[in-house]
């Protein structure tokens, strides 16, 4: 009979089709990835596995006297499998979807997808917070990274609270980092990533101009109450970009050199990008048992601790 409008089934088909299309737009759009991509590099996948590979130091330039010396590459390699990630699925009775005249169900499903549009962002941040094993077999931020075949070690682990003085010490340690042949690695911090509770001090020491007390040595007294002071521009203004990471544990921070795309503190590999799915086949278990449509989103990603030389921080 004309004039009765679309049937409930047609309405459900529209909602279900739109769910998949909205997922494709959100997960494949320019805003699909959050700020974690700044400090998390990407490696190619080989099937379901991702391999991180790094060549060790290969010797320094020196005068050649007598026979030429020969050596073998010393390499570090780790292989990790991809894992499946996604939020819990949503199950809705068919009749609710088919009679969704107001669009409330469709809007709620769109919100479900929007909450996951960052894709692998939370898994990457959760992975970083665990201080994962990196390419040399030690924890990423660690006091005993292997240095040479003789059993020496080096550290990128600070046990001191973030301050201007600690920042200066870390800058000196990172920029002065040498390989085992005495060659400077050319590391220079470009970013400071801090937990949410360190945003103010992070802003202060990376370049914010505000009235603050000055110590007798000329350094900013950022933790003191201001009785008198001057508008001071910290020495590090313009040298560092600040990243405030709300996933990090309170009090933790990391200085990172992100100027080298092939040397990142964390790596990920995407075996299968995030996608939205609808289970609405008449013979699906949810349909047969509960007359319900099922909606979910998922993707496959591998995660690996990266190059420890480009990061120095406090992880606890």
Rounded-to-integer distance, Cα 233 and Cα 131, Å: 33
- Per-residue pLDDT in tens (0 to 9) along the chain, 316 residues: 333 344 556 677 788 999 999 999 988 866 567 789 999 999 999 989 998 866 555 555 767 777 776 665 566 778 999 999 999 999 999 999 988 888 899 999 999 999 888 889 999 999 999 999 998 889 999 999 988 767 789 999 999 999 989 999 999 999 999 887 788 999 999 999 999 999 999 998 887 555 556 666 666 665 554 444 554 555 555 789 999 999 999 999 999 999 998 899 999 999 999 999 999 999 999 899 999 999 999 999 999 999 999 999 999 9
Residue 148: its pLDDT value, please? Answer: 72
Residue 5: its pLDDT value, please? Answer: 40
Residue 255: its pLDDT value, please? Answer: 98
For the chain, domain boundaries? 8-53+75-314
83-85/153-154 β-pairing: unpaired
Residue 208: its pLDDT value, please? Answer: 58
Rounded-to-integer distance, Cα 270 and Cα 83, Å: 10
E strand segments, the chain: 40-42, 45-46, 49-55, 75-81, 83-85, 90-93, 145-146, 153-154, 191-195, 210-214, 220-221, 230-232, 241-245, 253-256, 266-279, 292-305, 311-314
Question: Which two structure tokens, joined as six digits, stand for 223?
Answer: 């933790």
User: What is the reported pTM?
Assistant: 0.81
How many CB atoms neighbour CB 263 within 10 A? 19
- Angle at CA of residue 90, ends 246 and 10, nearest 5°: 130
Closest CA to 297 of 66, 114, 98: 114
Residue 205: its pLDDT value, please? Answer: 87
- Angle at CA of residue 93, ends 90 and 98, nearest 5°: 110
Rounded-to-integer distance, Cα 194 and Cα 62, Å: 41
241-245/191-195 β-pairing: parallel
């Amino acid at each position: 009979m004309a004039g009765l409008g679309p049937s409930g089934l047609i309405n459900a088909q529209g909602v279900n089709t739109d769910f998949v299309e909205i997922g494709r737009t959100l997960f494949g759009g320019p805003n699909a990835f959050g700020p974690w991509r700044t400090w998390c590099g990407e490696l190619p996948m080989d099937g379901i596995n991702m391999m991180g590979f790094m060549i060790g130091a290969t010797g320094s330039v020196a005068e050649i006297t007598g026979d030429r010396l020969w050596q073998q590459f010393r390499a570090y390699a780790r292989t990790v499998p991809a894992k499946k990630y996604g939020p819990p699925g949503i199950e809705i009775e068919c009749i609710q979807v088919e009679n969704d005249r107001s669009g409330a169900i469709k809007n709620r499903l769109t919100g479900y997808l929007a909450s996951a549009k960052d894709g692998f962002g939370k898994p990457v941040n959760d992975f970083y917070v665990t201080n994962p094993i990196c390419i040399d077999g030690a924890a990423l931020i660690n006091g005993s990274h292997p240095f040479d075949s003789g059993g020496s070690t080096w550290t990128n682990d600070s046990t001191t609270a973030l301050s201007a003085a600690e920042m200066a010490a870390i800058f000196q340690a990172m920029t002065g980092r040498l390989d085992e042949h005495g060659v400077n690695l050319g590391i220079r911090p470009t970013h400071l990533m801090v937990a949410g509770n360190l945003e103010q001090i992070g802003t202060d020491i990376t370049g914010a101009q505000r009235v603050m007390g000055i110590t007798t040595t000329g350094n900013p007294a950022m933790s003191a109450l201001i009785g008198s002071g001057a508008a001071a521009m910290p020495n590090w203004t313009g040298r560092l970009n600040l990243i405030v990471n709300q996933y990090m544990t309170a009090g933790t921070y990391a200085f990172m050199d992100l100027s080298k795309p092939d040397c990142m503190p964390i790596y990920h590999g995407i075996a299968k990008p995030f996608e939205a799915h609808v289970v609405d086949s008449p013979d699906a278990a949810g349909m047969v048992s509960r007359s319900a449509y099922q909606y979910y989103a998922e993707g496959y990603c591998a995660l690996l601790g990266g190059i420890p030389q480009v990061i120095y921080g406090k992880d606890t």
